[in-house]
Amino acid sequence: MARRFIDTHVIVLVLAFVALSGAGALALIYSRGYTHGDPPIRSDGVGYYIYLPAVFLDHDLSLVRTVHRSFGGDLHKAGDLRRVKHGYLGPHQIGEAILLAPFFAAGQVSAIASGSRRDGFSRPYQSWAAAAGLLYGVLGLAVLGSLLLRWFDRWIVGATLLALTFGTNLFHYLTYDAVYSHGFSFAATAFVLWSTIRLTERATATGALLLGLGLGLLAAIRPTNLVIALFPLLVALRTRTRVARPSLLAAGALGFLAPVLPQLLYWHHLAGHFIFDAYGSNPKLELTHPHLLAVAFSIRKGLFFWTPLVALAVAGLPLLRSRAPVVALATPVTLAVNFWVVASWSQWWYGGSFGQRALVDSLPLVALGLAALFDWARTGRYRVPVAVAVVLTSLLALHAMAEYWLGNIPADGTTWHIYVHSFTKL
């Protein structure tokens, strides 16, 4: 019990540091105007959020009232909406709005107390939405830390969580772009991994319900994230966990449908179909034409270019066989399939963003390889080289993030000249 308390205490300190750093970053970003005057709820964030004011303030599922009241009828500014049979529909689903609902309520209370506009987009709502992105990210790290403690000690877990946060683009999507979907998907993925192992340890209806809920949230936020379902499937096959019992299947299905069914009903209400391609013809998923090299290495949005720490994590994946054998197959296979799906999006650079943002959602899987590498290196002759590599790759990621915030690195179209020139502005 005492050791568990110490382990937890270390993780809590790490989480507190991330939370305080995130709060400070949010204050800096918006006090210095790094977003060029745009509020936290912007761009894709509008599309994920707009359901809340539409339902709770305008009482209009069609979104028409909200679009005309808050965006002057501009469908692009309102989240790239388009006209359908019974209103406006966008490519962004309702899963994030479900998670944001308590924070929207807090924004409503704050707006009433402060006398601000009660339209869903005034400053109190904006502040609470940004806080939600950070909080869910920290919760995701907490769940991930609990998972990693099953196989690694507290120092390895603490180092892994810190490196994952500041050595990738995760911190950016918990602060600068906190209302984008990626921090929320990151938390849901961590929850799926944790609930998978929990279910293998004790196959109960509650465990199946939680796993189904996590998968349902992933699907309701971004449908392509359902690739993460490979992880529990492969872990179940590896451990020969008997999860095919009717009671467990029913509980899992119930958990999955809880966030997914509202989305299906919403599509049917607006477009007349339970399954509807809200993106239309462009961009689209082309699984037979993936942009693997560009997504992996290009300066435009290459994963290993912008977050080279991930390459170290990939090197650590084979080490899971001796350290966490239960996830040794599921982790690399899920990561590989997810990478293929992400690279198969026709707009593989995913618009204006920092780094390869679509892969932020699967960073909890990356953490497993990173922890295995740290555990392997700490007692051998590679301890110093690995530590140096982690520090250098993290500094490169932090430099790129800072230059992105300052506007020296653009949201898209970065060239070698622009990237190299960013180092001269220090």
3-state secondary structure the chain: CHHHHHHHHHHHHHHHHHHHHHHHHHHHHHHCCCCCCCCCCCCHHHHHHCHHHHHHCCCCCCCHHHHHHHHCCCCCCCCCCEEECCEEECCCCCHHHHHHHHHHHHHHHHHHHHCCCCCCCCHHHHHHHHHHHHHHHHHHHHHHHHHHCCCCCHHHHHHHHHHHHHCCCHHHHHCCCCCCCHHHHHHHHHHHHHHHHHHHHCCCHHHHHHHHHHHHHHHHHCHHHHHHHHHHHHHHHHHCCCCCCHHHHHHHHHHHHHHHHHHHHHHHHHHCCCCCCCCCCCCCECCCCCCHHHHHHCCCCCHHHHCCHHHHHHHHHHHHHHHCHHHCCHHHHHHHHHHHHHHCECCCCCCCCCCCHHHHHHHHHHHHHHHHHHHHHCCCCCHHHHHHHHHHHHHHHHHHHHHHHHCCCCCCCCCHHHHHHHHHHC
Rama region for 345: left / alpha / beta (φ>0; ψ in -120 to 50; rest):
beta
Q: Per residue in 6-42, pLDDT tens?
A: 567 889 999 999 999 999 999 999 999 999 999 999 9
- Bridge partners, residue 345, by sequence: 285
Least confident among 55-59, 65-69, 84-88? 84-88
Task: Determine the pLDDT at residue 242.
Answer: 66
Portion of the chain with pLDDT greater than 90, in percent? 87
pLDDT on residue 1: 45
Please indicate whether residue 31 or residue 281 has the higher confidence score (pLDDT): 31
185 pLDDT exceeds 90?
Answer: yes
Residue 425: CA atoms inside 13 Å, Cβ hemisphere, count?
15
Q: pLDDT category, 5, cuts 50, 70, 90?
A: very low
In this prediction, residue 124 has a pLDDT band, given cuts at 50, 70 and 90, of very high
Q: How confident is the model at residue 158 (pLDDT cuts 50, 70, 90)?
A: very high
Q: What percent of the chain has pLDDT over 70?
A: 97
Instruction: Give the tens place of pLDDT for each residue, 92-120.
Output: 999 999 999 999 999 999 999 999 999 99
In this predicted structure, the answer to whether residue 2 has a pLDDT above a threshold of 50 is no
CA distance 289 to 372: 33
Whether residue 426 is predicted with pLDDT greater than 80 in this model: the reply is no
pLDDT at position 281, please? 63
**What's the pLDDT at 181?**
97
Check pLDDT > 70 for residue 243.
no
d(CA 157, CA 163): 10
pLDDT given for residue 277 in this prediction: 80
355 with 409: CB under 8 angstroms?
no
Q: What is the Cα gyration radius of the chain?
A: 21
Calculate the average pLDDT of the chain: 94
| pLDDT recorded at residue 402 | 97
Q: Are 188 and 93 in contact (CB under 8 A)?
A: no
Beta strands at 82-84 and 87-89: parallel, antiparallel or unpaired: antiparallel
Which segment of 18-27, 272-281, 395-404 scores lowest on mean pLDDT? 272-281
**pLDDT over 50 (residue 85):** yes
Distance in angstroms (rounded) separating the CA atoms of residues 225 and 306 = 21
The yes-or-no verdict on residue 122 having pLDDT over 90 is: yes
Q: What is the pTM for the complete model shown?
A: 0.96
Helices 230-239 and 330-343: crossing angle in degrees, nearest 10, is 160
Model confidence at 362: pLDDT above 80: yes
